[in-house]
Chain A
Amino acid sequence: MSGKPGVIVAFFAFIGAYAMRVIGNCGALAIFFFLASIKIFRSKQIHEITSQTYSIGAKSSLIVMLVGLFTGMVLGLQLFYTLVKFGSVGALGSAIALSLVRELGPVLTAIMIAARAGSAMAAEIGILRNSEQIDALYTMGVDPLRYLVSPRIAASIISFPLLTAFFDLVGIIGGYITGVVLLGTNAGTYFYRVQSSLGMVDIRGGFIKALVFGAIVSCVCCFQGYFCHMRKDGFGAKSVGLATVSAVVISCVLILISDYVVTSFLM
């Protein structure tokens, strides 16, 4: 008799609990970001920020440029054969530059850094948490948020736009390699179209996205690592592994969601 209502209640209870957890986590993430952000400007941060900028930014530059090169090349290839059908091969430079600078550059760069540096952030902080090194910081009077999280957020905000710029530049060169060198489009037309079609508004939009993605990726990854000991689905090393996976997956999803939101505001 009570089977059906019981199942329905349980279903809604599950949905409700899940929703509450998600909302709670969003709130915690917002507070975490706020507290960590205001601590960026405390003393003794320069060294840590520089070190993290090297780790997140400089060390990711090669992989970001490699991905940028091949993204540009594949774009050049796809767009060349599409534009040929409409007799507008001359617009190849514009198409590649605009799609890279406005959309693909910031998004793919953010995803690449989330995979490379974001996972490292989550794992490193998670291990510090599990081996009580974060507690040790606290007992020494060192604010763990200030020492561990703030420099990573600052470094990401510095690195993401710079790496995005590298990605865009190398992507345009990749498009040149396929479009001009391999498929014979006119080089002058290609670069003229790149220059004439790109406005400051496009570049600024791309950088705004990169800043937003930098804040999201660093905050999500640090948050996942910092609270990995509170996970219900795993303890110890497993919790670090799960935190790392969650960090990358949530970052990627949030990058795409926020991309839509930012784009709609910029349009």
Chain B
Amino acid sequence: METPLIEFRNVTKRFNEKTVLDNINLSIYENQVTTIIGKSGTGKSVLLKHIIGLLKPDEGSILFQGKPVSEMKKTEWEDHRRSIAYLFQNNALFDSMTVFDNVAFPLRQTTRLNKTEIDKRVMKRIEDLELGEAVGRFPSELSGGMQKRVALARALVTDPKIVLFDEPTTGQDPIRKNMILSMIIHYRKKFGFTAVMISHDIPDVFFISDRVVILWEGGVGFEGPYEEALRLKVPMIEEFLRSLDGFQDQLTGLLSREAFKMHYSAMLGNSSAEKTSAALFSVRLTVLYEALGAEASVEVLKALGEYTNRYFNNIGGFSARHSRDEILTIFPRKDLEEARRLVQDFADELKNGVVDHIRDMVSAGSDRGTCFDIYIRAGVMEVSPEDSIERIIEKGRAKQEIISKYRCDFGGNE
């Protein structure tokens, strides 16, 4: 069995008389995104601060690659600690320093790199995070989203192996939230770090997480993949997840996955004998991110969701996102041919809507140039009453083909 990168073994932490963490056992594995969720005051940040040594457990031990921190020599622990970066909930930027100095600070203080090399690395991170215009400004002169990106740039400038994110998307609007999560996932792929994140941004945070840890009344209520948490059906946890999920996906305005499931069950109950079809729409968000950057790629997804919602709601369809960039739409009482026609009409609408909108947006404000490709895919299929949602998605993925595209090499829509 794989040795966890970080392991909490019977960790208890008290503040005065209050026990915040009570005999916690959990594992964090290398190269995974682990998301910690839980109600307010359940010790999520406390847990994160134990990983980097800002807090020490009253009982129990924390292990790095199988070795207890308490048994490590100071230099060994310092080496581990240097490989961890921490993104604070309130960013904790140095407010008397400019953006450049904030990002350069860890390199200046902890490395022997010369000025030229530091400047080069800092400017690279600043450009990666689209902060070029903010280089000489102070944190108080920036928007919340920009401050978050500066904090992210500072956290990543030393190429850490582990990055701890304490509520990285708190206080952001849905587009910014998705942008930040896109950035995290993008940089995790690019730099290959292990991410531990506290976030409640359902559903997106679950789409990017390999494992979920649910803190519940001082202990670990669940640890494992998100889908497993839903399957287990522990009443209190289920209720908590549903309360986070709500009825609507904030970014796209589509149904939440829970609400979608309820609609689907209700539809099967009412009209199980009638024909039903479905379509799985998708855009490759990671490819778009590379081409357009965080904001425009999230805009594509948002626009696709809004168009899907608007177009198919009118004919009685209902839709929800089932991964970061996949939208499943159910067409009640429509056979396969009707569904195909609907999707084709929708594809024509998309050409004039989403793609043009994104092209205009990119041409107006980006320094990346206007050359980019967008492919929107759809898989249309018939649905039988015994099909689970997961099965429908599988079928949809197998049948996906491009229904709408913009290719700048060919001068626009095709």
Contact = CB atoms under 8 A, between A and B. Distances in A.
Interface of A: 44, 131-133, 135-136, 138-142, 147
Contacts of B154: 140
Contact of B95 (A131, A141, A142): A131
A62 B36 CA distance: 55
Contacts of B93: 133, 136
A135 B109 contact: no
Contacts of A142: 105-106, 109-110
Contact of A141 (B49, B54, B78): B78
B81 interface: yes
Contacts, number: 49
B289 interface: no
Contact of A135 (B81, B92, B95, B105): B92
A125 B162 CA distance: 28
B38 to A, nearest CB: 20
A44 B109 CA distance: 7
Contact of B92 (A44, A136, A147): A136
B85 A139 contact: yes
B109 A140 contact: yes
B118 interface: no
B301 interface: no
A136 B102 CA distance: 11
Interface of B: 49, 52-54, 78, 81-82, 84-86, 88, 90, 92-95, 105-106, 108-110, 154, 158
Given A44-B109, A136-B86, A147-B109, A141 B92 contact: no
A96 B158 CA distance: 59
Contacts of A132: 88, 90, 92
Contacts of B88: 132, 135-136
A140 B106 contact: yes
B54 A140 contact: no
A138 B78 CA distance: 11
Given A139-B52, A139-B84, A142-B106, A131 B92 contact: yes
B298 to A, nearest CB: 28
Contacts of A138: 52-54
Nearest to B164: A139
Nearest to B55: A135
Nearest to A142: B109
Contacts of B81: 139, 141
Contacts of B49: 135
A135 to B, nearest CB: 6
A15 B152 CA distance: 50
Contacts of A133: 92-95
Nearest to B111: A141
B54 A135 contact: yes
A141 B94 contact: no
Nearest to B49: A135
A152 to B, nearest CB: 15
6 contacts: A131-B90, A136-B94, A139-B52, A139-B84, A141-B82, A141-B109
Contacts of B106: 140-142
A139 B53 CA distance: 8
A132 B108 CA distance: 20
B188 to A, nearest CB: 18
A44 B105 CA distance: 12
Contacts of A140: 85, 105-106, 109-110, 154, 158
Contact of B54 (A44, A131, A139, A147): A139
